[in-house]
Amino acid sequence: MDGEIFRLPRERLGALVERLARDYRVLGPVRRGDSVGWVDIRPDTVLALDYRTTMLPPRQFFAPQREVLFRFRRGADGSFGFEEPPSQEPLALLGVHGCDLTGLRVLRSFHESSCRDRVVPNRLDRAFILGLACWTPCLDESFCKDMGSLENESPAALYAWDLGDVLLLKVLTQRGREILEALAPAAATAEELAQLRRRTRVRHETFPSHLRFAPEKLAAALEAAQDDILWEANAERCLSCGRCNLVCPTCTCFDVCDQATLDGSTGARLRTWTGCQVPGFSKIAGGHDFRPTRTQQLRYRIFRKGKYMPERYGMVGCTGCGRCIHHCPTDISIRDIFRQVGA
């Protein structure tokens, strides 16, 4: 039934959650105040399936903001013993948009090509992802269509289109099929499939195009614009607040710090998100900073997304989600920069 499309009446969503809860910790988009984030859900939780891009990207669940690497305890002989935390329980993440699905792919490609560490890929392997199609751009700042993530469905196990009273679901993996079979869904009706085709076509037209070149051309375009004044002009507005790094689904950098009790006898080593726009990131002993200016730092961030990541991991490091633009206090726009270097 791979690739086949089924229909799930909206009220059966709870049954899906119930089925997933047997094997997974289930997280879904839930509205709190005027923002939406993924939280633990139950079958009766009201899901905000019409949500706009969350502030924090899904990587928060696979490589969390603050994660214990190990705990330590000083023994009677004064030497330390170490213990790794138990491995994370498998997660089911519902309602992941195309940009964030792409983000998870980038996360995987980074971890698989950069090092031998399997922690994050293993978590991704064991996760169940329900993708969700967007009908309109989430943010004014999104440019997912340009970056090719609007239509991306991988690595979802099931991919959903919200038609209002009914969700259409496409099976993408074996696991997706197993889960869906438990709900014994009917195939989508011809009318529904027609509606899906029509809306998909309309969607393609309603999503504006911002860039006039394919993402594969970015690396060369950036290279050519290395010494453009645009870097400095943008960097002048940069607050070095680091938000662009933290909200980005493809940022991966972290800091490591220790916590301990007053006498130092027990504690933990943690990793926490950081990024190339965060003061102190490129400083070494003696105070020397290898990337001291905001101009260098900003260029570095954009180069990593548009040039270094595709060159090294085979995937452009920007999904077009628009978070970094939306959350930048002075609206520094990677989209505008891409557009300018591509001109």
Partner 1 sequence: MTRPRVAFFSFGSCEGCQLQVLSVEDSLLELFGAIEVVNFREAMDDRRDDYEIACVEGSVIRPEDVTEIRQIRTRARILVALGACACLGGVNAIRNRRALADVAGEVYGGRQDGVFEALAASPISSVVQVDYEIRGCPIDRAEFLDAVRSLLAGTVPYTPAYAVCVQCTLRGTPCLLERGVPCIGAVARAGCEAICPAYGAPCEACRGFHDAPNFTALGEAFARAGMPREQAAAKLQLFNDYREVRAAWERALPSPSDT
Partner 2 sequence: MPQVSMIPHPCRVAAATAQSSRDVHYVVEVPARSFAPEPGQFVMISLPGIGEAPFSLTALPGEGAPPGHFELLIRRVGRLTNLLTRVRSGGVLYVRGPYGRRVDWEPFEGANLIMLAGGLGLAPLRAFVWRALARRREFRRIDVLVGARSPDELLFKGDLDTWSARTDDVHVRLTVDAAREGWTGRIGVTSSLLEGIKVDAHDTYAFLCGPPVMYRDCLRRLLAMGLYENHLWLTLERRMKCGIGLCGNCQLSGHYLCQEGPLLSYREVRHLREAV
Q: Which residues bind partner 2 (CB under 8 A)?
A: 69-70, 72, 74, 79-80, 82, 84, 111, 114-119, 122, 226, 252-260, 264, 267, 269, 271, 274, 276, 281-286, 288, 290-291, 296, 300, 303-304, 307-309, 311-312
Interface residue with partner 1 among 3, 11, 22, 34 (CB under 8 A) is 34
The first and second tokens of residue 240, run together, are 């070095």
What whole-number distance in Å separates Cα of residue 260 and Cα of residue 269? Answer: 9
Q: Are the C-beta atoms of residues 317 and 334 closer than 8 Å to each other? A: no
CB of 255 to ligand SF4, least distance (A): 18
For the residues of 25-58, what is the DSSP string, one character each? EEEEEEEETTEEEEEE--TTPPP-TT----SS-T
Closest of 306, 319, 1, 2 to residue 134, by C-alpha: 319
SS3 326: helix
257 binds, options ligand FAD, ligand SF4, partner 1, none, Cβ within 5 to 8 A by partner type: partner 1
Q: Which is nearer to partner 1, 189 or 272 (CB)?
A: 272
**CA 22 – CA 295 distance, rounded (Å):** 50
In the structure, how many helices (H) and strands (E) does the chain have? 13, 12
Q: Which of 181, 256, 329, 343: binder of partner 1 (CB under 8 A)?
A: 329
- Candidates 333, 303, 301, 307; CA nearest to 320 is 333
Interface mask (CB under 6 A) for ligand SF4, residues 279-308, using x and -?
A: --------------------------x---
Among 247, 298, 321, 337, binds partner 1 (CB under 8 A): 247
Closest listed residue to residue 302, CA positions, set 210, 207, 225, 212:
225
Q: Is residue 323 near ligand SF4 by the rule CB under 6 A? A: yes
Between residues 172 and 321, which has the closer beta carbon with respect to ligand SF4?
321
Cα separations in angstroms, 139 against 2, 106, 188, 207, 265? 32, 21, 30, 11, 48
In the region spanning residues 272 to 291, those forming contacts with ligand FAD, defined by CB under 6 A, are 280, 283-285, 287
- Report the residue number, 122 or 282, with the smaller CB distance to ligand FAD: 282
Tell me which of 2, 84, 236, 311 binds partner 1, using CB under 8 A: 236
Interface with partner 1 includes 279 (CB under 8 A)? yes
Asked if 59 interacts with partner 1 (CB under 8 A), we say no
Q: How many CA atoms lie within 13 A of 126 on its CB side?
A: 16
What's the chain's Rg over C-alpha atoms?
22
Instruction: Tell whether residue 249 is a contact of ligand SF4 (CB under 6 A).
Output: yes
Q: For binding to ligand FAD (CB under 6 A), which residues are involved?
A: 280, 283-285, 287
Q: For binding to partner 1 (CB under 8 A), which residues are involved?
A: 33-35, 37, 55-56, 65-66, 236-243, 246-247, 257, 259-264, 272-274, 278-280, 283, 294, 327, 329-331
